[in-house]
Amino acid sequence: LAAHPHGPLVCVVDISHEEWRVACVELGGRVITEDTGRHSGSPGLVGTLAAHVAALHAHYARRVRAVSVCVAGTVSGTTIIQASGLGWRDVALGPLQPPGIPLIVGNNASLVGLADARRGAGAAARVVLHLTVEVGVGGILVVEGRPVDGATGTGGEFGHMPFGDPALECPCGARGCWDLAVDGRAMARALGRPAPADPRTAAGEIIASAASDPAALDAVARAAHALGRGMGALVNALDPDVVTLSGLAPDLIARTPAALEDGYTSALMRYRRAEPPPVLRSPLGPQGPLIGAADAAFDVLLTEEGLDAWSRGRPR
């Protein structure tokens, strides 16, 4: 089966720490058009993105049935209530919503996890724990294809569990966050460097240099070990069939597999160690957030009400 060439589309807006993307995605997850750019973190970005959404809505007209936003931050409803890496608090995304179509907003790590559970490494499992390392670590528990995101939709903020050093204060306001033990900030700290302005890029550079630099290799190993320990703790608590990884997490494993394995195994309860949940790399790559955000929107659209609205508005 394939999507109809004139079928419904979701306009997806992806806001990461220094980049943005606006794309149209058809049923089934194929990205048919995509614009990208960089940003400085100014809330004025919302106006820029609204203009891109409006242009796509004008071009594809009624085919655009929803706008779905994935953002590197904590969201509730259609508001980013906290995005520590962007320095945003209580940023409303209503300007991204064209008249007459729904606006859906979700955390990017959670939406990658949704896509991976349905279309990626976790597709054969009933209960999937997904983790991604970008700036910090996030993810989601997905049960039978549905994300477990809590009472207010803010669940999955695994990076703000106190698996790190309690002497360190996180930009979120908590102390000892796991975020600070696994990303580019942790690796820079291990190397005696100041906190990087772009932890994601810094982490990628340190991981690459670890092939020939023993100090960088040690920094990467420490981050991988911390990632493994947190994974083990979450497996103990959530009992998934499988753990899937995206972002920089697979690169951490590839560079220092023993460190992650040691952290993971040592954190597991004894009875789990003989057959721990397998740890798998997501195959979706950078398209994961777009596919997950589109899936979340199609969940809303592929209801009796949504299909009836599409049918009533279709040209005869």
- Convert the pLDDT of each residue in 284-311 to its tens digit: 998 999 999 999 999 998 866 766 665 6
User: What are the tokens at 237?
Assistant: 């608590």
Distance CA 123, CA 118 (A): 5
This prediction's pTM: 0.90
Residues of the chain with pLDDT > 90, as a percent, come to 78
Q: What per-residue confidence (pLDDT) applies to 65?
A: 94
User: What are the tokens at 41?
Assistant: 């973190």
Question: Do the Cβ atoms of 172 and 160 come closer than 8 Å?
Answer: yes
Integer angstrom CA distances of residue 65 from 62, 69, 88 = 7, 14, 28
- Any bridge partners for residue 26, and if so which? 9
Stretch 51-66: mean pLDDT:
94
Is the pLDDT reported for residue 316 higher than 50? no
Domains and CATH numbers, the chain: 9-107+286-313 (3.30.420.40), 121-282 (3.30.420.40)
Distance CA 130, CA 116 (A): 8
Instruction: List pLDDT tens digits, range 90-128.
Output: 999 999 999 999 999 999 999 999 999 999 999 999 999
Question: Do the Cβ atoms of 243 and 280 come closer than 8 Å?
Answer: yes
Stretch 217-228: mean pLDDT:
97
